[in-house]
Structure 1
Amino acid sequence: MTAAKHVAIIMDGNGRWAKKRMLPRAMGHKKGVEAVRKIVRAAKDLGLEALTLYAFSTENWKRSEDEIGALMGLMKAFIIADLDEFGANNVRLKIIGDYKAFPADVVELIEKALARTAENTGTTLAVALNYGAQDEIARAATKAAAKGAITPEAIEVELDTSGMPPLDLLIRTSGEVRLSNFLLWQAAYAEMMFVDTLWPDFTPAHLADALEKFADRERRYGGR
């Protein structure tokens, strides 16, 4: 049995959770943030070295201004409310993607959080913000080319996730079965699980169950 060190989650289903309850989409996102808190708190107890969450993709800019504004507000509230807890639990925050495209006040909060948690040595919480895997690979290849030969190893060190453990398990909630431009390079040999649970209903018990199932899988990395 193998224990997972790095788990990534596509947090899908906030809108459908709200629609089922005839609530505004913003309420679904709010409940989704509450689920994030629970999962981040559980990560250490479940033995994870790294947890990567898909929070805002490069394609999410296509959503309505009201929804984007609500997401930005929730992001700020999450950082402000949880920063002390990150410190208390030795969580290191990492951002993958181009977060500097966000409004200046959001960027300032993110950078303060990154600086404040930089020396923490516990679980790394990587949050994908304005992230797209194809863009990440293109940026990494460009940097690799500037230094010399383009090899898988040269690209690897230029990825946003450089320095993190290899991705072991990728989970997508809500029943959708696609990667949606998330960690395409890192997922090459990761195990994948697609669960029907909507993200606001995803609990530490769901994560623990996924880790148990992962531990029972045999990983061959292309061999027999």
Structure 2
Amino acid sequence: MAKSAPMAGISAPAEGPRHVAIIMDGNGRWAQKRGRPRLFGHHAGARRVREIVQSCPGLGVKYLTIFAFSTENWKRTQTEVAGLMSLFRRYIMKEMQEFVRENVQVRFIGDRPRLDAKLRGLMDEAEAMTAHCTGTNLTIALNYGGRDEVSRATKRLAIDVAEGRLRPEDVDEETLPRYLDTCVLPDPDLVIRTSGEARISNFLLWQSAYAEYEFIDTLWPDFTPDVFARLLAQYGARDRRFGAVPA
């Protein structure tokens, strides 16, 4: 990620979210509107990720989680899935050193075994190389599904109970999060979905219980730092009560 100059008109909102999660939707439609194949849109979307990550420090966003590939996306055509896997490999290889220079700590969440060995190796390498970084925390959800994550977490929890490391009576709503892929992350404050769809598509189901949501018509490749800043400012104007009644 080549460093970019500060963007005019963009500043951190006074009470902005610390952790933003984004369902990056609309790459394929963006490409089709231009008479290009869907993979053309996915490449444009990957470039947009770079800009949004670079904008995070100036906007006060410490944690950014992006939904790159879901457990349901395997249902797409073999050509598109293969193209996406190739894009992920190239993206990690291309951006790895830049992540270090930009002080971005990278981690991946999702079920890794189904991914090919080369991609898994690159994911491990990126996490190891950026483990010391203290700037933006970028989490990439790859072969991720919220229900799948909870299922895997529950199995690990059940094993600990069966083997005596955890008592059944000690299991409560604070226990399961320690077994989730996101165990080292705070819950998202704001979840954004682009492209006009108004659903969460199995993304961070447990973690987003009290997140604010923004569903916008903008297709992901058109999601600029200015649009991002506007949504963060709108978040700052919301009254978050977490079930309580204002005094």
- Tell me if both proteins adopt one fold, taking TM over 0.5 as the criterion: yes
Other-structure match for 1:212: 233
Q: Corresponding residue for 1:143? A: 156
Q: C-alpha separation between the residues in 2 aligned to 1:99 and 1:58?
A: 11
Q: For 2:112 and 2:151, locate their aligned partners in 1 and report how far apart those are by CA, in whole Å.
A: 17
Q: What are the ranges of 5 or more consecutive residues in structure 2 without an aligned counterpart?
A: 1-13, 161-165
Q: Percent identity?
A: 49
* 1:117 alignment partner in structure 2: 130
What residue in structure 2 maps to residue 2 of structure 1? 15
TM-score (norm 2): 0.88
Q: Is 1:161 the equivalent of 2:182?
A: yes
Aligned to 2:8: none
What letter is aligned with 1:148?
A: R
Query: After alignment, is 209-218 or 134-143 more displaced?
Result: 134-143
Distance 1:173 1:117 in 2: 28
2:218 to 179, 197, 200: 197
C-alpha offsets along residues 15-47 of structure 1, whole Å, 9 cap, x if unaligned?
Answer: 110111111001011111011111111112211
TM-score with structure 1 length normalisation? Answer: 0.97
Residues 147-182 of structure 1, C-alpha deviations (whole Å, 9 max, x = no match): 333311000111111121221000000000000000
1:100 aligns with 113
Q: Return the offset for 1:115.
A: 0.7
Secondary structure, aligned partner of 2:100: helix
Tell me, in whole angstroms, the C-alpha distance in 1 between the residues paired with 2:112 and 2:200: 21
Name the structure 1 match of 2:49: 36
- State the match for 1:60 in structure 2: 73
* Residue 221 (1) aligns with residue 221 (2): no
Moved more, 99-108 or 49-58: 99-108
The answer on 1:11 being equivalent to 2:12 is no
Matches of 1:143 and 1:223 in 2, distance apart?
A: 33
Q: Which ranges in structure 1 are unaligned for 5 or more consecutive residues?
A: none
Distance in 1 between residues matched to 2:111 and 2:156, nearest whole Å: 15
Q: Which amino acid is the alignment partner of residue 212 of structure 1?
A: A
Which of these two proteins has the greater Rg computed from alpha carbons?
Answer: 2
The structure that is helix-richer by fraction is: 1
- The residue type paired with residue 214 of structure 1 is Y
User: Which amino acid is 1:14 matched to?
Assistant: N
Give, in angstroms, the shift of residue 51 of structure 1.
0.2
Deviation for aligned residue 1:3 = 2.1
Shift in Å, 1:80 = 1.2
SS in 2 for 1:218: coil
**Would the aligned equivalents of 1:4 and 1:169 in 2 still touch at CA under 8 Å?**
yes
Dislocated runs of 4+, deviation >3 Å:
none
Cα deviation for residue 223 of structure 1 reads 1.2
CA RMSD of aligned residues (A): 1.1
